Structure 1
């Protein structure tokens, strides 16, 4: 490393950039190398404490960084870090930026850019990155002055982790990176998340509302949720018997064994939970944005019938009152709120019975029933619960296949669920690789549909290169199942563009150097899972399922078609 004690010593701007990352606690970088940031690649070996993970496609890079930021958010709060090259590298990576934005996860994407003298001429692979990324991130900028690298990096970290966490994109002109700067130009100090205390007066008002309520419900999980928020909110909700639902794909926000856990909202929720939320006279949303998926198209809660009130606790003031009428808004850290709520003394508050009732309803909903299917995914998930450790991390992308895990898996650990709330396909495998590297002592399972897997399955090569231990379950029904489901609802019997001809996924797993098995029955899956559990490294189970059984809710292709046809006639 450069000797800053000699003022005449100079080093590259790229070396300064990496030094700034190290100062901010960066432990791992995900990348596909590019010529536009060769100077950074040259500087990285000088910082051996930063692990560099070379991926196979920039979408995988960004998904891994997003997942890494999500896991860090549960504890240290540091953002995931990614480096990609200009043009197609950046546009490929944009999917992960979008996921990090909608999921409120801290992430920083560095993009190698054209030289400053080429800007504005539509040079080779040139894109105006601040303009391109601005709608899907918290801040997008270009570092044109190498002397300002410490400023930009510190601001990027502060922006990514504060308020509503999210992604930041910084473009790095390649000629700027090769400039030489004084060794005395030092990184800015470590940036910590700013404290956001809850207002005591607002808390007092909240407890008055709870005391007056007959049927309150909490919806939790989202921006800034961490281990502290989980522990304290669970203590608070259990003490007063408050039913707790988790927002879409935030099921690890509370322990499923909690006596007040009511299940998850989103796609395919328990109908009894939906009715409970609709009929609640007080909704307490903590961390959740109350986005489209969580609210079923902004219909749950409705906030239309008289007497239904909304309390919204969120670290970003711009989210409060943004979509829903908000009767009481608290702008504060969700962990700070949860701690205050758990320690709050209120003698007038009588515990509710509804929490225990809601938990019983969820247990009934989340317990598999009998099935005559050759391979019953509900039974397969139940077998996973019996076979794998309770702190297993489940990572999935988008597709109906995920519904079986959302319904029947118990997300005991925190972090224990890596799943994109924006519904991006191809997320599961890269996220699982990131999880296996972040938590090598834990079991990690990637669950992917056939279409979902083929969008980023090449990152199994990354898993093998870095010795990641993970199990991959590929659910193969020969179709883009979610779209087929909607197709049958809207245009029954008119199948178009949703059928897939797939490879032998088990053979593909073997080709990557892993252990593989094929399962066409529940018993075969259980046997393959037991074998996988006793091995290490990459293990892939190719699960062949019947397209007819299209969703964990019990929906079938024939049933959807019949109902849609009857409705049309």
Structure 2
């Protein structure tokens, strides 16, 4: 008879899993030894559980199905929390399997014992511990169902060591069929009436459950009614940024005219987007008389953002987008012209914001991001973590298609490199570019070894200004001239790359970047470019010295 570990691997394969990320641990390694090799599942051995969990989360974003990560107990699972938190905040399906002590030692303080249910009580959608080999298939099937249903998110499954080695008569279960909610005819009729009565309607896109078909359907709907579309925080790839209805990104770099446009909107339709404080200036942009907010979400009670909806449509973004074709007749010419002027003004402001605004220093991030946006093919994927450097990405990079951007709405530093590794594994023919700050890269920089080990041709651009820039900016705003704990002593990142077996280069002038970047895109493995940024260039629109003077 098979043992629990064999059923586990076969059940994952039955759910279409082809790749897992792990940092090996003795609590499950022996029980699973050799099983990956007998299946179609590829194992990506990572340097740190946090990096492995972020890779699994990025895989969930890209595929819409749970990314899988294995970690050992105690310090291993605690390290993985950072990636689990990203999944919870971004509504990403993900399953973390954790090796545990044998069941006879449970609650007897064995080495590295930890209470998984308490640890993840506020983060995971469900935490389960499999204490019988006969229930392995059942638990795994349920884990996939929970991770993908409603508002997607992370699930944690504990694997006691003895359960994996127990023989069982259990068999592999077929994956459960999942179909999300669809809007009712009454929902769409109500929406059509509200749209007909609106003077300045605005669509905000984001959140879980999008597909390429969803994107095209929303773009067609917006163009039919001449409606402006804004993307929610770090969801810029949900709509082609070159589309005439796209008017910009609601985040840290929101254009002042888009802020004014959101304030003036009398009907805001959030399609999947969990519109939160970053996108709305702590919700101030959604306040005011005469504004109607419509929320489309698979599980409105579970969203992490704004909940003050006048109309809440319980539906997946995909199902809702299909129903858009039947909403209302074509607007009358006067209505179209009225909405069109509102949309045209916002679009013109977005296009104007793309013009690079010079910042201090010989190496200007606005030039770098503009060059990457121009040179990267349409299937290119851009990833980033958190830090002020990302503001240049959000402001100047134009995303052309869905699933071409990976970034954490939680503001998790270190995300960019693991996400780039996951993206290249999932889409080996697509060029992948990771933007990182020096502090951001250092948090998961060891995963460069993972990229080298698997021969992944990714380009890593490090904005190196020698400090934790975001924190320094806030310090100078509140306590000018009194920085504390934000200076960094960095390695030579190009040499760091070469020490790992990757290629590396240092760029100190904007004029030199394009040639180096073209070389990096042609490289057969990872290529790190150390961008020496002037620390005075603290944001795309502010200088550090200006904050001190103010």
Same fold, TM-score > 0.5, yes or no: yes
Q: Please tell me whether residue 211 in structure 1 is matched to residue 211 in structure 2.
A: no
> In structure 2, what is the equivalent of residue 59 of structure 1?
50
Does the 8 Å contact 2:36/2:43 carry over to 1?
no
Deviation at 1:388, TM superposition (A): 2.0
> In structure 1, what is the equivalent of residue 444 of structure 2?
456
Q: Please tell me whether residue 35 in structure 1 is matched to residue 35 in structure 2.
A: no
Q: Please tell me whether residue 479 in structure 1 is matched to residue 463 in structure 2.
A: no
Q: Secondary structure at the match of 2:120?
A: helix
- Partners in 2 of 1:209 and 1:180 — Cα distance? 60
Deviation at 1:423, TM superposition (A): 0.4
Q: Please tell me whether residue 194 in structure 1 is matched to residue 179 in structure 2.
A: yes
RMSD: 1.5
Alignment CA distance shift 1:157-1:344 (3 Å): same
> In structure 1, what is the equivalent of residue 385 of structure 2?
397
Deviation at 1:530, TM superposition (A): 2.1
Give 2:310's match in structure 1, choosing from 327, 338, 344.
327
Q: Deviations over 1:104-162 (max 9, x none)?
A: 11100000011112222222111100111121111111111211111111111011111
Q: Please tell me whether residue 309 in structure 1 is matched to residue 292 in structure 2.
A: yes
Q: Secondary structure at the match of 1:49?
A: coil
Query: Where do residues 437-448 of structure 1 align in structure 2 (5 Å cutoff)?
Result: 437-448=425-436
> In structure 2, what is the equivalent of residue 101 of structure 1?
88
Q: Please tell me whether residue 436 in structure 1 is matched to residue 424 in structure 2.
A: yes
- Partners in 2 of 1:69 and 1:485 — Cα distance? 33
Alignment CA distance shift 1:323-1:246 (3 Å): closer
- Partners in 2 of 1:369 and 1:290 — Cα distance? 28
Give 1:344's match in structure 2, choosing from 305, 327, 330.
327
Q: Secondary structure at the match of 1:171?
A: strand
- Partners in 1 of 2:283 and 2:38 — Cα distance? 48
> In structure 1, what is the equivalent of residue 538 of structure 2?
550
Q: Secondary structure at the match of 1:329?
A: strand
- Partners in 2 of 1:561 and 1:547 — Cα distance? 13
Alignment CA distance shift 1:506-1:395 (3 Å): same
Task: Name the TM-score, length of structure 1 as normaliser.
Answer: 0.93
Deviation at 1:399, TM superposition (A): 0.3
Q: Secondary structure at the match of 1:134?
A: coil
Q: Deviations over 1:440-498 (max 9, x none)?
A: 10000111100000100111110111111100101100000000001111111111000
- Partners in 2 of 1:87 and 1:493 — Cα distance? 42
Alignment CA distance shift 1:323-1:381 (3 Å): closer
Q: Please tell me whether residue 496 in structure 1 is matched to residue 487 in structure 2.
A: no
> In structure 2, what is the equivalent of residue 383 of structure 1?
371
Q: Secondary structure at the match of 1:300?
A: helix
Gap runs ≥5 in structure 2: none
Deviation at 1:215, TM superposition (A): 0.7
- Partners in 2 of 1:347 and 1:321 — Cα distance? 34
Alignment CA distance shift 1:23-1:321 (3 Å): closer
Does the 8 Å contact 2:3/2:133 carry over to 1?
no
Alignment CA distance shift 1:135-1:299 (3 Å): same
Alignment coverage as a number of residue pairs: 545
Q: Secondary structure at the match of 1:175?
A: helix
- Partners in 2 of 1:457 and 1:324 — Cα distance? 38
Task: Name the TM-score, length of structure 2 as normaliser.
Answer: 0.96
Q: Deviations over 1:338-359 (max 9, x none)?
A: 1111343424564321223322
